[in-house]
A = this chain, B = another copy of it.
Amino acid sequence: MIDQRKLPQEETYVKCRSYECVAEAIEKMVIRGAPAIGVAAAFGLALGFQNLKTAEKCDEAFSKIFLRLSETRPTARNLFWALERMKQVFEENRHLSFSNLKKRLVDEAAAIEHEDIEANRKIGFHGKDLIADGDSILTHCNAGALATAGFGTALGVIRAAVQEGKKIKVYVDETRPFLQGARLTCWELEKEKIPTVLITDNMAGHLMQKGEITLVITGADRIAGNGDTANKIGTYPLSVLANEHSLQFYVAAPFSTVDLSLSEGAQIPIEERDPDEVRTIRDLCLTLPEVEVRNPAFDVTPARLISAIITEKGIARPAFEDSLAQLASERMSEKEG
Please report A residues at the B interface, Cβ cutoff 8 Å: 8-9, 171, 173-177, 179, 182-183, 186-187, 190, 195-207, 209, 233-234, 236-237, 240-241, 244, 270, 278-279, 281-282, 284-288, 291-296, 299-300
Contacts and interface: CB of A to CB of B under 8 A. Distances in A.
27 contacts: A177-B200, A182-B286, A183-B287, A186-B287, A187-B287, A187-B288, A190-B288, A195-B292, A196-B291, A196-B292, A197-B293, A198-B279, A199-B294, A200-B233, A201-B234, A202-B233, A202-B234, A203-B294, A203-B296, A205-B299, A206-B233, A206-B270, A207-B294, A207-B296, A209-B300, A240-B244, A282-B284
B288 A8 contact: yes
A205 B236 contact: yes
Contact of A206 (B171, B236, B244): B236
A282 B281 CA distance: 11
A270 to B, nearest CB: 8
Contacts of A199: 278, 293-295
Contacts of A196: 291-292
Contact of A286 (B174, B270, B296): B174
Contacts of A296: 203, 206-207
Given A205-B240, A293-B197, A186 B288 contact: yes
A282 to B, nearest CB: 6
A300 B203 CA distance: 11
Contact of A292 (B179, B198, B286, B299): B198
A287 to B, nearest CB: 4
B284 A198 contact: no
Query: DSSP majority for the A interface?
Result: mixed
B241 A197 contact: no
Contacts of A291: 186, 190, 196, 198
Contacts of A195: 292
A278 B209 contact: no
B198 A201 contact: no
Given A203-B296, A207-B294, A284 B286 contact: no
Contacts of A270: 206
Given A240-B241, A294-B207, A8 B287 contact: yes
Contacts of A288: 8, 186-187, 190
Contacts of A281: 281, 284, 286
A143 B8 CA distance: 35
Nearest to A279: B198
Contact of A197 (B201, B204, B285, B294): B294
Contacts of A203: 233-234, 294, 296, 299
A175 to B, nearest CB: 7
The 8 closest A-B pairs by CB, nearest first: A202-B234, A205-B237, A206-B299, A176-B200, A182-B287, A201-B202, A205-B236, A182-B286
